[in-house]
Chains A and B, each alone.
Chain A
Amino acid sequence: MKSKSSNKGLAAAQRRTSLIYMAPACILITVFILLPFILSVYYSFTNKMLVPKAGKSTEFVGFANYIKVFTNSATAKSFVNTGIYALMVVPAIIILGTLLAVFVNKPLKGVKTFRAIYFSPQIVTMTVVAVVWSFILSPNDTGIMNSLLSKFGIPAQSWLQDSRLALFSIAIMYIWQTLGMEMLIILGGLQYIPLEVYEAADLDGCSGVQRFVRITVPLLKNTMVYVMLSVTINTLKLFTQVYMLTNGGPKNATTSVIYQLYKVGFMNNQQGFSSAIAVVFFVIVLGISLLQNYLMRDK
């Protein structure tokens, strides 16, 4: 039995240790996440410039920056582009990722090696992925992708230089890089389903399709929601391919939200406007995160 005074001493020791051990991470998070976030909200209501000009003071402008987010055509387009990009990437990853996961979930010899191979693009950084794929998607007739497609009678495309295909080209790069990883996450969910459930279903004479629809899909729900929403949030952060390859072009076809807030704030010096873009972006991400919590709540 511990005496009351030693219990008190232990509580004090825990407080002391916690204070010291929590401090470094908490200070860093306060200075580099919380503070920038509060400043973003604050500056979004001002006309603050990143590099102040002489004689122009920072003033409150109300909701002017927020109105501009929706009326400035390049900025509004950046939100639309980012949404379209997510709509191209997320369903592709969910469908192909699930098919792949089911396909590699077999007790065959060497299947683990194939899983590792499918995952391997994930270790190539996006900057490199973007550059390599920009060569694969060369616009001339002899480009790798164009030569391949010509075998199927599809004429040569200009890919990244074509305003209708540029965003699609960028989506292909991301799908190629991430598909294997999402496949592994879905596979983790599949293997989490106890085998007995399937055995019971077999005894009841379930067909393969019934098994998939009645057992796999419902029991995989949490994994799927996680994959769907984490991929969505990741796609909304689109920046690297745009900055590496297109700078938002052609004709703003690939301007993404993050690229736009970088350009507006850093290149055009409009910190207030850029902060408003950041806040709108944050609200969208917050909404998706809340949706995830709602869908994944325990019943």
Chain B
Amino acid sequence: MKAENETKRNIKLAVDYGLYTLIACVFVLPIIYMFVSAFKTDAQIVSDMSTVKAFLPTGKLSFDNFVAIVDQVKFFRFFKNSALVTLLNVSLATILNAMAGYCLGMLDFKSKKTIISLIIALSIVPSEAVVLNKFMIVNKLGMINSLLGLAIPSVGYPMFIFLYYNHFKGMPKELVEAAIVDGETYGGVFWKIMLPLSKPVLATVTIMGFIRSWGDLLWPTLVTRDETWRTLPLALRALSTDVYIYWGQIFAFSSLMTLPVLILFLVFQKQFIASVTSSGIKG
């Protein structure tokens, strides 16, 4: 009787793990296909396509595709552009929105309620919808085809302010009062006490901001004129809509573009998952 239960449990366990693995394949195989194909010749990719070999390192593997996209497609130039835009955008968005969220959540001042309502209302406006008139303003400000034009317009982000506002609203006010009695300024409280206590929400905003900025296609399409400030998503589009399609190079380009995010994900996996998992509860 006991042994029978044991077998039953083992079978159930095997079914669970079998299904887990099968589902994992659906999510992972396209990514594996990308990385593996980056090392193959175009002919090899096409001939492997109809079989399992598409996901396996078959045939003559080489770094030729990577060499080609670095030498001919100038990958690192676009990488540098994307990195600068993302770095500037994310660091400013993380700090400036936190400063605003701190004031709204912890300090008292006139018309605070109105500003909070306005921020909530504006968080509904999809940035994609106002993109054309935003472009016109950026054009008037002379920021077309520049680092600032790419990175700055999306720094002020109502949703991030709202996230920070909710976070700071829940922190004990006594912390501020005690520090003020000790002679700290309200600004000092933010930098020295509140920021160090806000690591989880800072991580959430950084991660969300990074994903938003690194993959953005619409805004760079509008504000870049030539290769000077072309970012990775735009360069990938140029490569994949070229007259002749070099499969291997496109896969190599995609792989190199994904690698930094993948590394970040593996390092900060816990924060990634925690920030996503909690977003529904807070929402």
Q: How many A-B residue pairs have CB under 8 A?
A: 288
Tell me whether B34 and A176 are in contact (CB under 8 A): no
Given A21-B102, A262-B132, A142-B277 contact (CB < 8 Å): no
User: Bound complex: CA of A110 vs CA of B24, how far in Å?
Assistant: 13
Tell me whether B280 and A223 are in contact (CB under 8 A): yes
Given A21-B103, A239-B128, A261-B129, A131-B254 contact (CB < 8 Å): yes
Tell me whether B30 and A192 are in contact (CB under 8 A): no
Asked whether A121 is an interface residue with its Cβ less than 8 Å from the other chain, the reply is yes
Question: Min CB distance, A253 to chain B, in Å?
Answer: 18
Query: Which applies to chain A's interface (DSSP): helix, strand, loop or mixed?
Result: helix
Within 8 A of B (CB), among A110-135: 110-111, 114-129, 131-135
Contact with B along A173-184 (1 / 0, CB 8 A): 000100111001
Asked whether A158 is an interface residue with its Cβ less than 8 Å from the other chain, the reply is no
Question: Min CB distance, B103 to chain A, in Å?
Answer: 4
List of B residues within 8 angstroms of A123 by Cβ: 211, 258, 261-262, 264-265, 272
User: Bound complex: CA of A180 vs CA of B254, how far in Å?
Assistant: 21
Query: Which applies to chain B's interface (DSSP): helix, strand, loop or mixed?
Result: helix
Tell me whether B280 and A124 are in contact (CB under 8 A): no
Given A120-B28, A266-B222, A36-B217 contact (CB < 8 Å): no
Choose from A122, A176, A282 the contact partner of B30 (Cβ within 8 Å).
Answer: A176
Asked whether A289 is an interface residue with its Cβ less than 8 Å from the other chain, the reply is yes
Contact with A along B22-45 (1 / 0, CB 8 A): 011011101101100100000000
Chain B residues close to A by CB (< 8 Å): 13, 16-17, 19-20, 23-24, 26-28, 30-31, 33-34, 37, 46, 49-51, 54, 96-97, 99-100, 102-104, 107-110, 112, 115, 119, 122, 124-138, 152-158, 161, 180, 185-187, 190, 211, 214-215, 217-218, 221-222, 232-233, 236-237, 240-241, 247, 250-251, 254, 257-258, 261-262, 264-265, 269, 272-273, 276-281, 283
